[in-house]
Structure 1
Amino acid sequence: MSVTEFDSLLATILVAVFLLAAVLGAVMRETRFCTMGAVSDVVYVGDWMRMRQWALAIGVAMCGFSVLAYVGWVNPADIVYAMPQVIWLSALVGGLLFGFGMVLASGCGARNLTRLGGGSLKSLVVLVVLAVSAFATLKGITSVPRARWFDSVNVTLSVPALLPEWLAGKGWGAVADIRLWLGCGLGLVLVLLGLSAPRQRRDWHVLMGGVLVGACVAAAWALSGHFGEVQEHPETLEHMYAATYTGRIESFSFVAPVAHVLDWLLFFSDRSKVLTWGAVAVFGVVFGAFVQALVRREFRWQGFADTADLSRHLVGATLMGIGGVMALGCTVGQGISAVSALQIASFIAIAAIIAGAVIALRAQQWWLERQS
């Protein structure tokens, strides 16, 4: 592959990522896809509809990834989550921090991106603070305790820390067959649970949002792992995947990529700072939500109600940035993308995110009852 061909592929992948992320942003805003909202619906009113929506997204993405891996379009060993360490403590603590923070910040990173597209200046502040705290946890002051105290507490496997690889190492069979049957089996169970008991037409609208979100994540795996694969980089001669920040296969996630957007904006004149997969996806989600808001005539400028509202969002954004990096993802990155690949630590992270959100919701409820 020549340099010209590589540059053309890079541009094509980035445009495709932007368009796919725009579809994701429009769908998420149209169907009110929000993990924090799903948990709060269950905790406060016992409504499981948006939780089923999330289950559908996971199930569809899981089936999609399993099939893509089976037919050879995605090499699971090359995905960004295929490390040999199960960083269980970081996943646990990071998930708790992220879950607690997303309640204070009125939603996760993806939800705040879609709200920004609808005119929320609150979300803009949340995303800037999230980016700063995430970057500090990637390379700055909070990266030191993350690496020394949390990431160092792990279980190191002889294979990538993906459930099919681990089971294959235990003699359960061929890894490709395990991934296909386990991934599709768990995915179909989640799909069936998600589609259970819709009561009215609006419920189908919400549930189809889950299907489309899961399909977008699966499409992202295919775009990154198949269409973006480069056998030999024209300069380094290394095997890599075009446009990704890590050079490995990536899908959607919205914590570290938000930090990469801030890094790119601040050091734009530095030619080493280039737009990558995650950063372009951030712009795409905002654009898609913006178009949807205009079509629906729902675009409205929104700000903070008071200083207490501002302070809650600042604390929540900080916790999400730190927790999202520690857990290696957010409610999309770990909650859909990583778990679709059956990464072992993702199950810990998802449980911790939900637990953190429940704790924060109960704490808010107690505070409101005390004030009344």
Structure 2
Amino acid sequence: MSHTELVVWAGLTIGLVFGATAQLSGFCLLRSLHHTQHSGDTRKLRAFALAMGVALLGSQALGASGMVSLEASIYTVPSLAWLALPLGGLLFGYGMALANGCGARALVLLGSGNLRSFVVLVCLGLAAYMVLSGVLAPLRLWLESFSLTLPAATLPQLLGLPGWLPALIIGGCLAAWAFSGREFRASPRDWIAGLVIGALVPASWYTTGVLGFDDFEPVRLASLTFVAPIGESLQYLMLSTGTRLGFAVSVVGGVLLGAVLMALLRRDFNLRSFDSPTHMLRSMVGGTLMGIGGVMSLGCSIGQGLSGFSTLSLASLIAVASIMLGARLGIHGPLALSKP
């Protein structure tokens, strides 16, 4: 088996685990924010915080071991697109609220029979490629031209510390806060989901950085993210004879398959559609905003919230804050349009 085939199979496995775990637990950033704001239930939010901590600790451990150089990822760049990055995060977060879930959540819901998510995914994938290389690419490049050079690309570099030290402090605090909740500790479905999904981030770095390493044809270093990969998956479905299956597409396929299998196992597969044309329009606009914003912010609630965060990139910290703010505006702000 070649190194590229090994990466594809590993990506499929990672996707299967993610899809099955997310379907079983309801793991989702937007859902966690909804539950926290509208019912005071913090279990989903603590699960996401735990996943952030595990992803951070595992990824920095890989970096400290020398097996993977996180500095080679797309997140750790010294140039900050100070206009495009936060604007993209706001658009993604607000679109996530409109569509009632991010791209990863849409894949899981589709695997459970939610046909609304199919519309979200198609709009997200098309919009992502419109911004990456289509009619909106010139606008993106113009927005990215407003940039500045940072004194350091990551928080540890800025503080002059080894990466493992801030990771140990921040990751430990996130895990401690997560397990400080009595209801969370009594909900193994949530804390196991946080542990498992968080661990999939360093597993993905290892897959692309170690299993995918080759002197002549290296696989691009990447971890979990679900904006450009969804667009890439749509493109692969149409042009598979002229392209090569890669890590990103195999993860997307694995998530969908894992969600289907878990939904069938739990007898939770039910076909659902839109309640009204307005509902459909909200999903279309939400998916489109997520595709546009996710490309501009270099990731989604998973791509930046877990993978980007695990590098402690300064740009990722800004993107995560922008996504959270955009989601809050969509859920519980003056521009609120989302139902809990």
TM-score (norm 1): 0.87
Q: Deviations over 1:242-280 (max 9, x none)?
A: xxxxx3x100100000011111222233x2x22111111
Describe the shift of the 1:11–1:142 C-alpha distance in structure 2 as closer, same or farther (beyond 3 A): same
Q: Is 1:259 aligned with 2:231?
A: yes
Letter in 2 for 1:265: L
Q: How far apart, CA to CA, are the structure 2 residues paired with 1:216 and 1:319?
A: 26
Q: Is 1:187 aligned with 2:171?
A: yes
Aligned ranges for residues 1-372 of structure 1 at < 5 Å?
8-148=2-142, 150-157=143-150, 161-167=153-159, 172-173=160-161, 178-199=162-183, 203-233=187-217, 240-241=218-219, 247=220, 249-269=221-241, 271=242, 273-362=243-332
Letter in 1 for 2:156: P
Q: Name the structure 2 match of 1:244.
A: none
Describe the shift of the 1:368–1:70 C-alpha distance in structure 2 as closer, same or farther (beyond 3 A): closer
Q: Name the structure 2 match of 1:3.
A: none
SS at match of 1:330: coil
Asked whether the equivalents of residues 198 and 204 of structure 1 are also in contact (C-alpha less than 8 Å), the reply is no
Instruction: Report deviation, 1:362.
Output: 2.4
Aligned structure 1 segments of 4 or more residues deviating by more than 6 angstroms: 364-369
Q: How far apart, CA to CA, are the structure 2 residues paired with 1:109 and 1:123?
A: 9
Instruction: Report deviation, 1:162.
Output: 2.2
Asked whether the equivalents of residues 329 and 335 of structure 2 are also in contact (C-alpha less than 8 Å), the reply is no
Instruction: Report deviation, 1:200.
Output: 6.7
Asked whether the equivalents of residues 56 and 171 of structure 2 are also in contact (C-alpha less than 8 Å), the reply is yes
Q: Deviations over 1:34-59 (max 9, x none)?
A: 11111111222222221111110000
SS at match of 2:240: coil
Letter in 2 for 1:89: L
TM-score (norm 2): 0.95
SS at match of 2:146: coil
Asked whether the equivalents of residues 88 and 296 of structure 2 are also in contact (C-alpha less than 8 Å), the reply is yes
- Number of residue pairs matched by the alignment: 339
**Largest Rg, 1 or 2:** 1
Describe the shift of the 1:34–1:364 C-alpha distance in structure 2 as closer, same or farther (beyond 3 A): farther
Asked whether the equivalents of residues 40 and 358 of structure 1 are also in contact (C-alpha less than 8 Å), the reply is no
Describe the shift of the 1:367–1:217 C-alpha distance in structure 2 as closer, same or farther (beyond 3 A): closer
Q: How far apart, CA to CA, are the structure 2 residues paired with 1:227 and 1:219?
A: 10
Kindly report the root-mean-square deviation, in angstroms, between the aligned alpha carbons of the 2 structures: 1.9
Letter in 1 for 2:227: V
Describe the shift of the 1:154–1:365 C-alpha distance in structure 2 as closer, same or farther (beyond 3 A): closer
Q: How far apart, CA to CA, are the structure 2 residues paired with 1:21 and 1:94?
A: 25
Deviates more, 1:68-77 or 1:78-87: 78-87
Letter in 1 for 2:105: R
Q: How far apart, CA to CA, are the structure 2 residues paired with 1:83 and 1:365?
A: 33
Instruction: Report deviation, 1:83.
Output: 2.2
Gaps of 5+ in 2: none
Q: How far apart, CA to CA, are the structure 1 residues paired with 2:177 and 2:151?
A: 34
SS at match of 2:2: helix
Gaps of 5+ in 1: 1-6, 234-239, 242-246
Q: How far apart, CA to CA, are the structure 2 residues paired with 1:337 and 1:308?
A: 34
Asked whether the equivalents of residues 6 and 211 of structure 2 are also in contact (C-alpha less than 8 Å), the reply is no
Q: Percent identity?
A: 36
